[in-house]
Chains A and B, each alone.
Chain A
Amino acid sequence: MSQPSSDLTVYYDQPVEWSAPDPGLGGARRATLRVPLDYRRPGERDIEIGVARHEATGHRQGVLMVGPGDDLGNSGLNLLTALLGSLPGALIEAFDVVGFDHRFMGASTPIFCDLEPSERFWVFHYPESFDAEVRYQATVAAKCAAGSLDLLAHANSRNICRDMDVIRGVLAADQINYVGYSYGTYLGAVYGEMFGPHLNRAVLDAICSPDWVWRGLFTDFPENGERALNRWCRWAATRHDTYGLGATGPDVRAGYDAVLAAVDRGDQVTLMGFPLDRTLARLIPVGILNSEKAYPVLADIVRHLRTGADLDAGSLDFLARMFGQPKEESGTVAQLAILAGDAFWPRSPALYEQDMLKAAGEFPWTGAALNGIKAPAFWPVPPTEPPTRLGTDAGGGSYLLVAADEDMSTPWVAARRMHEVLGDRSTFVTVADTAHHRVFPFYGNAGLNELVAGFLLTGRTPGPDHVCVNPDRMLEPVASGPG
């Protein structure tokens, strides 16, 4: 469906009113578009999509759309703001940079389901017992059903891509260029499949495996998490003089595991006076390990937990940023709705219990949390269409795939799967010796940033399987595993 059907022209041709430049959005102008709730029934009920556009400051070359990711509360508008402060100047000059909140969160008909704060951690929620977890996750799903049943069926990636194409139409662009991170990489791939002729160049960074949709995202995590944690242990061992956490990776790991065991036993373990539960004792390190630049923060926190030593200013600042702006509830709900709405999840409790017990043995850090039962197992509506088959002849666009070799949340092998599926339409770039989720431009690897900007501006790609070195690498590469 590369051309909008006539029923949709009213959406593609809708008039749009841009606000004055919003300093809170890096000077971008806001607008609110209407899109159909259900693309099978346009005109029946509309929802709003909040978009923002920062116009090219120099010779305008086209549109660069920024897809929402799952960081920054899923908010594409927040991501746009972050990018406007970080993108290479040449891109700001050449492109209208456009971001949007995807349907049902933030500025786009947000949905709320009265989730308790603890229920917003459903992804990483650590089971007290399997039965208790069934109860917890079923309750999250029940609240979504009670709050937004009529909307849930329309929360899926294909509809978000249809929304993206309406945005393209409203911008009067025949083609868009695209940058997507994490979940946004999947949107970039699906958009190219559904609207191939309208996609010019796309950069996907921190790439989801096409095989994940979506339970695989969870079940792949524990192994990657262990590797990322052990890499940090190895780093902390090189700073034993500073932190005193152990002189070898395994020593550091044993120290962290002792803290975890105390939490799991129910001992009172506090971070800045706040008691840690099993979920937070894992979730906080997970959040930190998404960037190796925060390795010192985790070392400082573990030292604090083990010895009671005061946290340093940098850690306090990091934690304040991590918890100071909790993910907006609609971001949590919409994310859940999409994860449950793109594909049908298994629903048998017995299956999840088996998986949970197995993973808890293999990957003690997060196995039980990620491989156990999840709210989508209780979802009240089935998907309205099958997941997108990627890499077919119908797809279009030219992709640059960027993968940090030590990324925890979207591991390098997941990016390789996307490369295999997209085939000749994609060029693969490995960023070596880097544990960072979303590398371009945030990590500050000048070589990579130049390469990506060049691709977006000219279409120039490096040779196959290009490797960008990390001049600021924090750790000598060794075989994975502690020590």
Chain B
Amino acid sequence: MKTLLRESLTTSLNLLAFSVIGAALLVLAYNATHAAIEASETASKQALLAQTLPQGGFDNDLVRAARPVPADPLLGLKRPGLAYPARLGGAPAGVVLEVVAPDGYSGEIRLLVGVLADGRIGGVRVTAHRETPGLGDYIDIAKGNWITQFVGKSAQEPGAEGWKVKKDGGRFDYAAGATITPRAVVKAVYGALRYFEAHRAELLQPTEASQP
């Protein structure tokens, strides 16, 4: 009985020792990479956000200006998302909204929609999707220019009837054989524009953090 007790004790101490060594190594690795990870994440997010607004159309740090937006069906969000107010020389220039198209062919399509202060689209980018490779993935800027046709459109132009793919009588192109994907994206972008119209004042108003 005593040997059994001693054996299980030494075994567990042994496992504990390995765990401590492992944890210590991970602390070292984390500390060595933490700053670089944060910097590269912020840089790539900034680069992506900048693509949704015209070049030179803003001069503030979008990532730092980010503020929470409550979940709203127009944005397709089930949880609160983020809005990135853009400013040029201190004046509101527009806002980048996080938008989800919930009805893609293979689940959610996550988007960033840049809306200029006058309600026109500055740009749209897909940040995450699971659409069929080679078929529905042309919504990704890496695979095609489809996503750029939103630039300059607004909720009034082309209007509710026009905010559909051509197959449904609207104004937006789609690729034959993959209609569900563009249909979901068009609907989500139009939703974002209507959300912007409804909340224009609060979305454009300056954040406390960006005040000097």
Asked if A pairs with B, the answer is no
Q: Interface on A for B, CB 8 Å cutoff?
A: none
